[in-house]
Chain A
Amino acid sequence: MTPQSRLLNPETQHRLHPTGRLIALLGGLLLVVSPFLAWAYSSAALDDMTVYGYPSPIQFFCLALGVILLGLVAASWRVKGGRFQVGWVRGAKAAGTGVLIFMILIIGVIALELGGLVNVLWGGWIAFLGAIAAFIGTRLMAAEDRLPTLERATLPAWLEILAIAVVMGAVLFAAAYALNLDDGGGFVIFLTFVGTVIAVMLRIGAMGWFSAVSRRHRQVLILAAFVVAFAFPFTQQGSDANMSIATQVIIFAATAMGLNIVVGLAGLLDLGYIAFLGAGAFTAAILSESAFSTVDWHPPFIVTILISGGVAATLGLIIGSPTLRVSGDYLAIVTLAFGEIFRITMNNLDGTDGPLLTNGSNGIPGIPGFNLFGFEFDDPHTVLGIPLGRFSNYYFLLLIFLAFVILVFTRLNNSRIGRGWVAIREDEKAAEAMGVNTFGLKLFAFASGAFLAGMAGAIKAHADISVTPDQFVFLESAFLLAAIVLGGMGTVLGVLVGATLLKLLPEKLRFVSEYRLLAFGLLLILMMRFRPEGLIPSQRRQLEFHEEDEELAERIEEEVEETGALKGAGAL
């Protein structure tokens, strides 16, 4: 029960439904009209919103939300979903709430950047009024009695595939657009817009339909996702600034996926994971042809990356074999301690406090790019007349690596090993009694996670050019963990979303960077308290965290019967 529904019980909502619809329609109309008016006195805030008759991009988003709202309200009036229940009013309510937040943010940013509310022109106030009307109106409307059942709808295969393509295209456009927004206010407003659209889709049931479609056409979806990801650098007109951010995001995501095997699948809390990334990075740096390398052997790329993974995995075995025998709690602390030892050791191997290997706190700078079969990763290239900078090369390489990590993750998850991990996670003693080799499986999870981190580290060393010990502090491990917890432990999509959000938000919101860590700490506490399964949970995890929730168990059981298996459990 949300507070609103207690305030407005279904009875009053049914009584006020026609009034609410009228108010919402009025609000929607205002939202559609107002983008053609001027909203601000000066074009210094956000984009140019001073022109009459022609909406700026942000005003265009307002227009889009207004059209969506009008469409939903109108549809709830006349259109019946045929055999399927469509959540028109539910969607309208989400749109009403979203558009209100959207307008509050816009007015707030204009007032902040131009100094005071006087800078908001009457067009802006009309839009704001529309948003308030939309919010109140949709609140007064009575939602459908039944939950949407749109996910049962089927279309011809080519239409479904087309839908996947359209959604992926929208994702590409949104990502490219968001990365090019350089002011924090605009970024947050755009994020609100995207969030509102997603919420509306979720409430009317289109999201359920889309996930059913993507289950039916899994290969197409995966292919489309990677086509979109590969297309991304071509939208950047050779600019390396955004590609550098994108590269960092993918390194972070790939490392988080590796940690996800350890934490999400095997349920082992590894707080020193960044040390394995560091081990790989230092190994690759030492074996590279950098002038500061301390070893005389410089093997080619493929050998380097495998050795880096091997070194990290060996460290994982050394740390894991004593600690995985005892209670899981110890592992958290020992890995944490290991992370510290690693950092201190890298700092000390400078020739005075220890053997010369890493140049101490200066680290190893000037690492040259990879050379793969004659392809120089450090040179810009031009493909089909579109220039691609240095980071684009690493972006492509990392994308392939990320795909590899995801492949390893899903194959492990759906294998005998993955089922063994689930058993260990739920009840280790019972698993052992059933003949699961608990120690072996835990050690395998730990070492394979370390191996992937080592490989990621090797690429990171070359992409970043220099490696220093203070890149691998405990907080980095905590961020990785936060990405997994935020997105949803043990899922692919969730962790990708979590990693992207955690890496992108601080890049775009520089003005809150001071409070970033405070927010992360709070985020971990609140997520564990209110939504431990993450934003995009796997169903199995959701059940593990809400054991008493009979309703949830029944719902998932029903779904399992329909689809035949716990497909959503592991990976989307």
Chain B
Amino acid sequence: MEFLQQLVNGLSLGALYALIAVGYTVVYGIIQLINFAHGEVFMIGAFGALSTWLIIGSANDNLSLWLLPVMLLGGAIASVGVALLMERYAYRPLRNAPRLAPLITAIGVSIFLQELVRLFYGEVPGFPDAKRAIPFPQIDYVTGPAINVGGLVIQRAALFTLIALVICSIILFIFINRSRLGRAMQATSQDPDTSRLMGINVDRIIMLAFAIGAALAAVAGLAWGLRYTNIDFRMGFVAGLKAFTAAVLGGIGNIAGAVVGGLVIGVVEAMATAYIPGRFGGSAWKDVWAFVILILVLVFRPQGLLGSRVVDRA
């Protein structure tokens, strides 16, 4: 039972990582860029959702369920907007630059976005100071008392995250494989030059990749807020690193791989924290295990669990 409990905890944690990891993998699949600032897009998504609630929901202390899709929409608008701006003004001019340039830019974007939120979020009238953690609105049905299934305690927020992951995965799967745009994305990731010749607007596809990743990151941001009950401007850093690990573990560029990788990382983290005996167990070391996995994957299976379609461009 203890094992099952840890499995459930791990899966729901992993669902968060998976939602973020898709963003890394989609962008990498198209332009072979590690969008290091994606963790910050996730953070912006959470803050966008919070702002939406502050604007429309907090006045009458309304915490009913209809707020959830509205907050999600607000978060997605914020994160997609930031991701598109970032693509347009930071990455696009560097598309033919040496490989070091976009990576350094990404670090700059990451620091810049964190500081922007830290310094200026509280300046907006009615918004709390973002230099400390901000409590996230708790919505009935989603963050109420935990559900008990035969001794197994499942937090409602955890369940919400898992359901969100399943729904997003299905929508994404249908979109990529059935829609014209989705197939154009696949074509671009296989061969951008030929796709361009076939009449695909590659710039639009790249923007689309950033937008998809950002929208899923906003879902993750909302789920994170509901699960951990508060958010802060630093939340994207470690979460982004772990999600990147998930993407590499699954095989970067492979969307299904990112989901599987995310779930595996989540489960490993939960299990390692619970079962490693002695001093190296426990929550003090919980952030280390994902990175240990990252290094192990790169040694033994750099193409990832499910293998990636992208050619290694070493």
Q: Given known contacts A478-B111, A525-B108, is B103 in contact with A269 (CB within 8 Å)?
A: yes
Q: Which among B98, B104, B279, B291 is the interface contact of A485 at CB below 8 angstroms?
A: B104
Bound complex: CA A478 to CA B37 (Å): 14
Asked if B105 CB lies within 8 Å of chain A CBs, one says yes
Q: Which among A352, A425, A514, A532 is the interface contact of B97 at CB below 8 angstroms?
A: A532
Size class of the contact patch on chain B: 35 or more
- B241 near A337 with CB under 8 A, answer yes
What are 14 A-to-B residue pairs whose CB atoms are below 8 Å?
A271-B107, A322-B295, A326-B298, A329-B34, A330-B248, A330-B302, A337-B245, A337-B291, A344-B287, A524-B107, A524-B111, A528-B94, A529-B94, A532-B101
Q: Which among A325, A328, A485, A517 is the interface contact of B115 at CB below 8 angstroms?
A: A517
Asked if A545 CB lies within 8 Å of chain B CBs, one says yes
Q: Residues of B contacting A352 with CB < 8 Å?
A: 279
Asked if A383 CB lies within 8 Å of chain B CBs, one says no
- A521 near B90 with CB under 8 A, answer no
Q: Residues of B contacting A337 with CB < 8 Å?
A: 241, 245, 290-291, 294-295
Q: Which of B285-310 contact A (CB under 8 A)?
A: 285, 287-288, 290-292, 294-295, 298-299, 302
Asked if B53 CB lies within 8 Å of chain A CBs, one says no
Bound complex: CA A518 to CA B111 (Å): 7
Bound complex: CA A323 to CA B112 (Å): 28
Q: Which of A466-485 contact B (CB under 8 A)?
A: 474-475, 478, 481, 485
Asked if A332 CB lies within 8 Å of chain B CBs, one says yes
> How far does the Cβ of B179 sit from chain A's closest Cβ, in whole Å?
29
- A333 near B294 with CB under 8 A, answer yes
Bound complex: CA A523 to CA B90 (Å): 12
- B100 near A263 with CB under 8 A, answer yes
Asked if B2 CB lies within 8 Å of chain A CBs, one says no
Q: Which of A151-207 contact B (CB under 8 A)?
A: none
Q: Which of B23-78 contact A (CB under 8 A)?
A: 32, 34, 36
**Besides the contacts A347-B284, A353-B279, what 18 more A-B pairs have beta carbons closer than 8 Å?**
A267-B98, A269-B100, A322-B295, A323-B298, A327-B314, A329-B103, A330-B248, A332-B34, A340-B241, A344-B284, A354-B279, A354-B285, A517-B111, A520-B111, A521-B107, A521-B109, A525-B105, A529-B93
Asked if B210 CB lies within 8 Å of chain A CBs, one says no
Asked if B110 CB lies within 8 Å of chain A CBs, one says yes
Q: Residues of B contacting A297 with CB < 8 Å?
A: none
Asked if A435 CB lies within 8 Å of chain B CBs, one says no
Task: Give A504-546 as 1s and 0s: 1 = Cβ < 8 Å from B's Cβ atoms.
Answer: 0000000000110110111111001100100000000000110
Asked if B237 CB lies within 8 Å of chain A CBs, one says yes
- B313 near A327 with CB under 8 A, answer yes
Asked if B280 CB lies within 8 Å of chain A CBs, one says yes
Q: Which residue of B lies closest to A347 (CB)?
A: B284
Asked if A22 CB lies within 8 Å of chain B CBs, one says no
Q: Residues of B contacting A545 with CB < 8 Å?
A: 97-98, 101
Q: Residues of A contacting B110 with CB < 8 Å?
A: 521
Q: Residues of A contacting B119 with CB < 8 Å?
A: 514-515, 518
Q: Residues of B contacting A102 with CB < 8 Å?
A: none
Q: Given known contacts A330-B248, A522-B108, A525-B108, is B288 in contact with A341 (CB within 8 Å)?
A: yes
Q: Which residue of A lies closest to B282 (CB)?
A: A353
Asked if A338 CB lies within 8 Å of chain B CBs, one says yes
Task: Give B230-269 as 1s and 0s: 1 = Cβ < 8 Å from A's Cβ atoms.
Answer: 0000000110010011001000000000000000000000
Q: Residues of B contacting A338 with CB < 8 Å?
A: 291, 295
> How far does the Cβ of B142 sit from chain A's closest Cβ, in whole Å?
31
- A348 near B241 with CB under 8 A, answer no
> How far does the Cβ of A469 sit from chain B's closest Cβ, in whole Å?
12
Asked if A345 CB lies within 8 Å of chain B CBs, one says yes
Bound complex: CA A76 to CA B87 (Å): 48
Mostly, the B contact residues are: helix
> How far does the Cβ of B291 sit from chain A's closest Cβ, in whole Å?
4
Bound complex: CA A532 to CA B97 (Å): 9
Bound complex: CA A267 to CA B114 (Å): 27
Q: Which among A474, A525, A529 is the interface contact of B112 at CB below 8 angstroms?
A: A525
Q: Residues of B contacting A263 with CB < 8 Å?
A: 100
- A328 near B302 with CB under 8 A, answer no
Task: Give B108-139 as 1s and 0s: 1 = Cβ < 8 Å from A's Cβ atoms.
Answer: 11111111100100000000000000000000
> How far does the Cβ of A523 sit from chain B's closest Cβ, in whole Å?
7
Q: Which among B99, B100, B103, B302 is the interface contact of A326 at CB below 8 angstroms?
A: B302
Asked if A429 CB lies within 8 Å of chain B CBs, one says yes
Q: Residues of A contacting B101 with CB < 8 Å?
A: 528, 532, 545
Bound complex: CA A522 to CA B70 (Å): 32
Task: Give A305-346 as 1s and 0s: 1 = Cβ < 8 Å from B's Cβ atoms.
Answer: 000000000000001001101111110111011101100110
Asked if A428 CB lies within 8 Å of chain B CBs, one says yes
A residues contacting B by CB (< 8 A) are 263, 267, 269, 271, 319, 322-323, 325-330, 332-334, 336-338, 340-341, 344-345, 347-348, 352-355, 425, 428-429, 474-475, 478, 481, 485, 489, 514-515, 517-518, 520-525, 528-529, 532, 544-545
Bound complex: CA A478 to CA B109 (Å): 12
- A348 near B103 with CB under 8 A, answer no
Q: Which among A319, A514, A524 is the interface contact of B104 at CB below 8 angstroms?
A: A524
Q: Which among A323, A348, A474, A475 is the interface contact of B295 at CB below 8 angstroms?
A: A323
Bound complex: CA A340 to CA B98 (Å): 27
- A334 near B295 with CB under 8 A, answer yes
- B285 near A529 with CB under 8 A, answer no
Q: Which residue of B lies closest to A425 (CB)?
A: B98
- A333 near B302 with CB under 8 A, answer no
Bound complex: CA A345 to CA B36 (Å): 24
Bound complex: CA A354 to CA B278 (Å): 8
> How far does the Cβ of B290 sit from chain A's closest Cβ, in whole Å?
8
Bound complex: CA A337 to CA B296 (Å): 13
Q: Residues of B contacting A354 with CB < 8 Å?
A: 279-280, 284-285
- B105 near A326 with CB under 8 A, answer no
Q: Residues of A contacting B97 with CB < 8 Å?
A: 528, 532, 545
- B287 near A340 with CB under 8 A, answer yes
The 8 closest A-B pairs by CB, nearest first: A524-B108, A521-B112, A521-B111, A337-B291, A518-B115, A353-B284, A525-B108, A322-B299
Q: Given known contacts A348-B284, A518-B112, A521-B108, is B100 in contact with A334 (CB within 8 Å)?
A: no
- A328 near B99 with CB under 8 A, answer yes
Q: Residues of B contacting A428 with CB < 8 Å?
A: 314
Bound complex: CA A326 to CA B93 (Å): 26
Q: Residues of A contacting B290 with CB < 8 Å?
A: 337
Q: Which residue of A lies closest to B289 (CB)?
A: A341
- A529 near B280 with CB under 8 A, answer no
> How far does the Cβ of B254 sit from chain A's closest Cβ, in whole Å?
15
- A332 near B36 with CB under 8 A, answer yes
Bound complex: CA A373 to CA B211 (Å): 63
Q: Given known contacts A333-B244, A353-B284, A518-B115, is B298 in contact with A525 (CB within 8 Å)?
A: no
> How far does the Cβ of B294 sit from chain A's closest Cβ, in whole Å?
6
Q: Which residue of B lies closest to A332 (CB)?
A: B103
The listed residue with most A CB atoms (<10 A of its CB), out of B102, B114, B314, is B314
Q: Residues of B contacting A334 with CB < 8 Å?
A: 291, 294-295, 298
Q: Residues of B contacting A475 with CB < 8 Å?
A: 111
Q: Residues of A contacting B295 with CB < 8 Å?
A: 319, 322-323, 334, 337-338
